[in-house]
Amino acid sequence: MTHSLRLGVAGLGTVGASVVRMIARRADALSAATGREIRVTAVSSRDRTRDRGLDLSGIQWFDDPVALAGSGEVDCVVELIGGSAGPAKATVEAALASGKHVVTANKALLAHHGAALAKAAEAAGVALAFEASVAGGIPVVKAIREGLPGNAVSRVYGILNGTCNYILSRMEREGLTFEACLKDAQALGYAEADPTFDVEGFDTAHKLAILTSLAFGTVVDAEGVSVEGISRVQPLDLRMADELGYRIKLLGVAQATAAGIEQRVHPTMVPKSSAIAQVMGVTNAVTVDADAVGELTLIGPGAGGEATASAVVADVTDVAAGLVRPAFGRPSATLRPSERVEMQRHEGGYYIRLTVHDRPGVAAGVATRMAEREISIESILQRRSENAAVNDPRGRSGQPVPLVLITYAATEGNIRAALDAIAADGLLAESPQLIRIERE
Amino acid sequence: MTHSLRLGVAGLGTVGASVVRMIARRADALSAATGREIRVTAVSSRDRTRDRGLDLSGIQWFDDPVALAGSGEVDCVVELIGGSAGPAKATVEAALASGKHVVTANKALLAHHGAALAKAAEAAGVALAFEASVAGGIPVVKAIREGLPGNAVSRVYGILNGTCNYILSRMEREGLTFEACLKDAQALGYAEADPTFDVEGFDTAHKLAILTSLAFGTVVDAEGVSVEGISRVQPLDLRMADELGYRIKLLGVAQATAAGIEQRVHPTMVPKSSAIAQVMGVTNAVTVDADAVGELTLIGPGAGGEATASAVVADVTDVAAGLVRPAFGRPSATLRPSERVEMQRHEGGYYIRLTVHDRPGVAAGVATRMAEREISIESILQRRSENAAVNDPRGRSGQPVPLVLITYAATEGNIRAALDAIAADGLLAESPQLIRIERE
């Protein structure tokens, strides 16, 4: 048997504690799979006194994770500190610089510095592995990087944030507002006290940027992601989606277009019959469209200590087995530069919910402005206001009422221009709601 | 760059031709991913004259695949001949004996000789890779073997045969009989002229046996799978399933029990809300229940030349990258012997459709026999016969009518005993239909 693989675990929060326990619990299976013993020899955390329910006897303690990364008693650093800068970045850089393998769950770090870190890992001849950084326990990094090399990928999209999917699932099922569901998610520990990072789509954007690089062989480019969160989605939109045969999910979508790779995060209408529409609650899912396999979907837990630790331990096992492959599937020098595509150029179907004054000629006025921009309407849903008959024998109240349009494929630039014209015509009582449609 | 990896492709049917084309089409991406050129240097097939639309110039032709396997110009043999014996087995054995890596799509060979071949591969220090043998283009072998090493798996189940899922999907949607849908599947090329191997569950059993070994670390044991096909499923069963909130799928299920690993293939009721219930047509899906990740589901194409070639090329890429790990996730000497569990000991919920004479006391008689075997009934569906009122003012016709029971968890032995007693009581007009329920 080869010498054992010595792990230094930097960060002992929920995931770190799960990793330490899992490595011990699965010791026999892991050594059978790799032909080597895997053991934790060093840990680092801010607070040494906290009781984590872990047996840390015989394990060296470091107050400073960078010192752990430089230790001669560690072969592989498991970075679970988090954050795109500060100690996490310093720890990973120190580990790579001293020729140690790195396994990390840090999506922010990878999204912002992935290409540079991959280059450093290659120079050192070590692994930089990050299965846990995207979609928690789902082995989606491995599936794309190692499971589809014979394929050209045309699109990858997914539900990558459990908090948002939990909120949207409850809004849909119970007809509640975003605010009410967010409060519950916070009470249950699914959402942070400051939920901005999750609900405004930035967490999804980080994960998407990593998937994009893996799927398309481009330099990871988090800044190139167009981001819109779920805080403006209203219960009425979910009801309308239901009537029209859709569900609303916060998707991250990366798509090959003639102009480059489009990367976008936004609330999205998906057909109710699609696999991804079935994914409710905190569960994550990723679908890959590729030329040889067609459509491949992976569904599983996107977060949680044990599920995330499962992905970390999978990476550690690959390292122990001697698997050192380029982090993003090909040498960093051969990654293509990201070609950003402006959202204005996005082409797709749209759900547009206008709040119009309930009076004659409004629908015609809207339709005319759409036609001027060559936008074809697939369906229109108009609801009379509830007190219509009381006010007007012809059923028109003059009150604000929703007018919902589903368009065929159109460019975002044309859609925005049409909406601006409709607003300038004075037809709108509120600013319009616009949700993109993603078809299978 | 390391020297190139030279492939010998044995078998040039649909999959083989796709592999040859894919290796050429993706040459740049594959060499970027692995640091090596991958090229096909030899092929073998029965018929040299057939036009496959392939450019085979510069590629050596072998009439005998065993000779190809012994060639000094080949580093890795891709076996796409098929069948558990004969030339396929001889080719794989010859390749391993001469120290060549083997990539195969041959589920029958793996299911019957997997452990011995894995041992031979280990002895030679080469890879034996078989992603394409289970669920076509879905990277499920990789996901289980390399994506979940930190997990203890409790159950793995899936839709592993596209032919059966196509037939059941059409029976459900269109209310057609098994026979009518089979005929259409044959006309469309989804089913063979002799469909027994697919529709009676044997193909699913082979794939399940491979998944079982990977998931539980046991010696692959195809003979230990209890097998029942879909030919006895009737349109009425699909209608009843729909009313009760289920769909019927042919599942392969491997489950850890106190007595050992249960391996079974049978038509199965799955809750309509489950991810696997959404899988329609020729698509495949696999769900793994494991202690750390909870539930993980992979959905994708189960067959087809390009999708299967995608899995073959993924294995070839691993070989080129130097990945040589034990075929079933751990050295063959450490695989545990399979402990077969008799189907009589299976415990679960059951759908039982009886055809009873429509007369007083029948339901009571059935319920009494069930209670004697301590079987609890979750729900009963009784349909009066359509001409009931005509024959009998009390609504009973004496005609055969369906009586459907859904049970809580019970052992198969008790269920069978109760049904035997009900039959002996003379209550049944036809032999009973029994479909097992699989809950999430």
CB contact under 8 A, B149 and A314: yes
Paired tokens of B217: 């670390």
Q: Is B251 annotated as a binding residue?
A: no
Q: Higher-confidence residue: B345 or A267?
A: A267
Angle between helices A14-25 and A27-34 (to 10 degrees): 70
DSSP state, residue A337? P
CA angle, B4 then B7 then B9, to 5°: 165
Cα Rg of chain B (Å, integer): 25
Interval A385-390 mean pLDDT: 51
DSSP state, residue A439? -
CA angle, B160 then B166 then B172, to 5°: 120
Chain A contact set for B312 (CB, 8 A): 150
The residue type found at A390 is: V
- Please check whether residue A144 is in contact with residue A214, taking contact to mean a CB–CB distance below 8 angstroms: yes
List CB contacts of A138: < 8 A, sequence separation 6 or more: A284, A285, A286, A298, A299, A300, A301, A302, A311, B293, B296
Side-chain half-sphere CA neighbours of B306 within 13 A = 12
CA angle, A357 then A362 then A364, to 5°: 165
Q: Is B192 annotated as a binding residue?
A: yes
CB contact under 8 A, A296 and B217: no
DSSP state, residue A358? S
Distance from CA of A367 to the nearest CA of B (A): 37
**How many other C-beta atoms are found inside a 10 Å radius of the C-beta of residue B198?**
24
* CA neighbor of A95 nearest in space, from A111, A112, A74: A74
pLDDT > 70 in chain A, percent: 96
Search chain B and give the residue with CA nearest A333. B32
What is the signed CA dihedral for A130, A136, A142, A144, rounded to 10 degrees? -110
Distance from CA of A419 to the nearest CA of B (A): 37
- Which of A89, A119, A207, A249 is an active site residue? A207
List CB contacts of B67: < 8 A, sequence separation 6 or more: B44
* Sheet with B38-44: strands ordered across: B60-62, B38-44, B5-10, B76-79, B101-104, B128-129
List CB contacts of B285: < 8 A, sequence separation 6 or more: B135, B138, B158, B159, B275, B276, B279, B297, B298, B299, B300
- Please check whether residue A401 is in contact with residue A383, taking contact to mean a CB–CB distance below 8 angstroms: yes
d(CA A69, CA A79): 9
Search chain B and give the residue with CA nearest A137. B293
d(CA B31, CA B20): 15
What is the signed CA dihedral for B154, A312, B139, B207, rounded to 10 degrees? -20
d(CA A31, CA A313): 12
* CA neighbor of A94 nearest in space, from A79, A115, A114: A79
CB contact under 8 A, B298 and A293: no
The residue type found at B370 is: M
Q: Is A238 annotated as a binding residue?
A: no
- Please check whether residue B304 is in contact with residue B224, taking contact to mean a CB–CB distance below 8 angstroms: no
SS3 of residue A254 by DSSP? strand
**How many other C-beta atoms are found inside a 10 Å radius of the C-beta of residue A113?**
20
**Active site (catalytic) residues of B:** 207
Report the pLDDT value the prediction gives residue A339, as an integer from 0 to 100.
85
d(CA B300, CA B311): 12
d(CA A177, CA A167): 9
CB contact under 8 A, A142 and B138: no
List CB contacts of A20: < 8 A, sequence separation 6 or more: A9, A12, A40, A43, A54, A56
Domain regions of chain B by residue span:
5-133, 141-301, 346-437
Residue A39 parent element (H or E): strand A38-44
Search chain A and give the residue with CA nearest B279. A275
- Partner residue opposite A142 with nearest CB, options B22, B146, B321: B146
Distance from CA of A46 to the nearest CA of B (A): 26
Report the pLDDT value the prediction gives residue A360, as an integer from 0 to 100.
87
| A-B contacts at Cβ under 8 angstroms | 190
Residue A255 parent element (H or E): strand A246-257
- Partner residue opposite B30 with nearest CB, options A34, A149, A326: A149
CA A99 to chain centre: 31
pLDDT tens, per residue, chain B with 440 residues: 469 999 999 999 999 999 999 999 999 999 999 999 999 999 999 988 888 889 999 999 999 999 999 999 999 999 999 999 999 999 999 999 999 999 999 999 999 999 999 999 999 999 999 999 999 999 999 999 999 999 999 999 999 999 999 999 999 999 999 999 999 999 998 898 999 999 999 999 999 999 999 999 999 999 999 999 999 999 999 999 999 999 999 999 999 999 999 999 999 999 998 889 989 999 999 999 999 999 999 999 999 999 999 999 999 999 999 989 999 999 999 999 988 998 889 999 999 999 998 888 898 999 999 999 999 999 998 876 555 444 555 556 678 999 999 999 999 999 999 999 999 999 999 999 999 999 87
d(CA B143, CA B147): 4
Search chain A and give the residue with CA nearest B25. A150
Report the pLDDT value the prediction gives residue A228, as an integer from 0 to 100.
97
Which residue, among A296, A315, A316, would best test binding to B if mutated, counting the most B CBs under 10 Å from its CB? A296
Report the pLDDT value the prediction gives residue A66, as an integer from 0 to 100.
98
Domain A5-133: give its CATH code.
3.40.50.720
Search chain B and give the residue with CA nearest A145. B33
- Please check whether residue A317 is in contact with residue B313, taking contact to mean a CB–CB distance below 8 angstroms: no
CA angle, A321 then B314 then B53, to 5°: 155
Residue A112 parent element (H or E): helix A107-124
SS3 of residue A70 by DSSP? helix
Report the pLDDT value the prediction gives residue B216, as an integer from 0 to 100.
97
Distance from CA of A383 to the nearest CA of B (A): 30
CB contact under 8 A, A33 and B149: yes
Q: Is A395 annotated as a binding residue?
A: no
ipTM given for this complex: 0.94
CB contact under 8 A, B292 and A298: no
d(CA B307, CA B313): 10
Class of domain A148-301: alpha beta
Paired tokens of B78: 């891709």
When pLDDT is cut at 50, 70 and 90, the band that residue A386 belongs to is low
CB contact under 8 A, A137 and B33: no
Search chain B and give the residue with CA nearest A139. B147
d(CA A342, CA A101): 37
**How many other C-beta atoms are found inside a 10 Å radius of the C-beta of residue A259?**
11
Chain A contact set for B291 (CB, 8 A): 306
CB contact under 8 A, B310 and A326: no
Paired tokens of B253: 């299920």
* Helices and strands, counts by H and E, chain A: 15, 17
Taken in order B234, B237, B243, B245, is the CA torsion positive or negative? negative
CA A430 to chain centre: 30
- For the stretch A5-30, pLDDT in tens is 999 999 999 999 999 999 999 999 99
List CB contacts of A157: < 8 A, sequence separation 6 or more: A251, A252, A253, A254, A255, A276, A286, A287, A438
Interval A178-194 mean pLDDT: 94
* CA neighbor of A115 nearest in space, from A410, A330, A325, A273: A330
SS3 of residue B348 by DSSP? strand
Q: Which CATH superfamily is domain A344-437 in?
A: ACT domain (3.30.70.260)
CB contact under 8 A, B300 and A301: no
B346-437 is classed in which CATH architecture?
Answer: 2-Layer Sandwich (3.30)
- For the stretch A112-157, pLDDT in tens is 999 999 999 999 999 999 999 999 999 999 999 999 999 999 999 9
CA A124 to chain centre: 30
Chain B contact set for A151 (CB, 8 A): 26, 310
Q: Is A14 annotated as a binding residue?
A: yes
Report the pLDDT value the prediction gives residue A338, as an integer from 0 to 100.
87
Distance from CA of A7 to the nearest CA of B (A): 15
- Please check whether residue A338 is in contact with residue A165, taking contact to mean a CB–CB distance below 8 angstroms: no
Interval A44-70 mean pLDDT: 94
d(CA B257, CA B261): 6
CB contact under 8 A, A150 and B296: no
Q: Is B15 annotated as a binding residue?
A: yes
d(CA B127, CA B138): 20
For chain B, the maximum distance between any two Cα atoms, rounded to a whole number of angstroms, is: 89
CB contact under 8 A, B321 and A325: yes
Q: Is A223 annotated as a binding residue?
A: no
Q: Is B41 annotated as a binding residue?
A: no
pLDDT at A335 over 90: yes
First CA to last CA distance, chain A = 49
- Please check whether residue B38 is in contact with residue B27, taking contact to mean a CB–CB distance below 8 angstroms: yes
Q: Which CATH superfamily is domain B141-301 in?
A: Dihydrodipicolinate Reductase; domain 2 (3.30.360.10)
d(CA A181, CA A168): 8
Distance from CA of B374 to the nearest CA of A (A): 36
Strand pairing class (B294-301; A294-301): antiparallel
CA angle, B242 then B245 then B250, to 5°: 70
d(CA B427, CA B440): 34
Chain A contact set for B330 (CB, 8 A): 29, 32-33
- Please check whether residue A206 is in contact with residue A172, taking contact to mean a CB–CB distance below 8 angstroms: no
Paired tokens of A89: 């970045």
- Same fold for the pair A148-301 and A344-437: no
